[in-house]
C-alpha cells in the first residue's frame, strides 16, 4: 500500500512536469503583427482625416461654409430657400433629390432632379446643376 502511494505521488509529479508548459503563465512584452498593422492603419487613418479636414477648411475659406443638406433628398438649405422664393404661388417642388455637394471652381456644386407641381398639373422631370457660394445660389 505504501508503494502504491509513492507511485501515485510520482505519477502526479510526472504529470505536472509534462503539462507545465500548458498551464504556466509567461510574461511577454512583444507586440504581435496584428497589433502593429492596427497601429499603422490607425496612423494612416488619422493622417487622411487631418488632410481632409485641411482641404475642407481651405474650401470653406474660399466658398463659405459648406451648406447643410436635407436627410433623404440631400437638398442644400440655400437651394431650398432659392426654390421657395423663385416658385410662383401655388407651385411646389416634389420628388426632389440632389447629388452630394462637391467643390467646383466656382463654389459648392450639386446636381438636382425634381418635378414642379402647379395648379395646372405637374411638369416633367427637370435636371439642373446649381452652384452655392457663401450661402447663396449662383446658377
Task: Write the pLDDT tens digit of every residue in 78-109.
Answer: 999 998 888 888 888 888 899 999 989 889 99
What pLDDT does residue 99 have?
A: 92
Residue 69: inside a domain, yes or no? no
Residue 70: inside a domain, yes or no? no
97 and 49 part of one domain: no
Total domains in the fold of the chain: 2
Q: Does the pTM of the predicted model rise above 0.75?
A: no
Asked if 87 and 93 count as a contact pair (C-beta separation under 8 A), the reply is: yes
The percent of residues in the chain predicted with pLDDT above 70, rounded, is 96
Residue 25: inside a domain, yes or no? yes
Cα–Cα distance for residue pair 41/22, rounded to 1 Å = 34
What is the domain extent for residue 102? 77-138
Residue 72: inside a domain, yes or no? no
Residue 58: inside a domain, yes or no? yes
50 and 89 part of one domain: no
Residue 121: inside a domain, yes or no? yes
On the CB side of 99, CA atoms within 13 Å amount to 12
Amino acid at each position: 500500500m505504501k508503494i502504491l502511494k509513492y507511485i501515485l505521488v510520482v505519477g502526479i509529479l510526472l504529470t505536472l512536469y509534462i503539462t507545465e508548459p500548458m498551464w504556466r503563465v509567461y510574461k511577454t512584452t512583444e507586440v504581435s503583427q496584428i497589433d502593429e498593422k492596427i497601429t499603422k492603419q490607425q496612423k494612416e487613418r488619422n493622417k487622411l482625416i487631418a488632410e481632409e479636414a485641411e482641404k475642407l477648411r481651405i474650401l470653406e475659406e474660399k466658398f463659405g461654409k459648406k451648406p447643410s443638406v436635407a436627410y433623404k433628398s440631400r437638398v442644400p438649405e440655400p437651394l431650398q430657400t432659392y426654390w421657395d422664393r423663385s416658385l410662383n404661388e401655388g407651385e411646389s417642388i416634389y420628388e426632389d433629390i440632389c447629388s452630394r455637394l462637391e467643390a467646383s471652381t466656382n463654389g459648392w456644386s450639386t446636381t438636382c432632379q425634381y418635378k414642379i407641381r402647379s395648379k395646372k398639373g405637374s411638369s416633367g422631370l427637370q435636371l439642373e446643376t446649381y452652384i452655392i457660394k457663401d450661402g447663396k445660389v449662383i446658377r
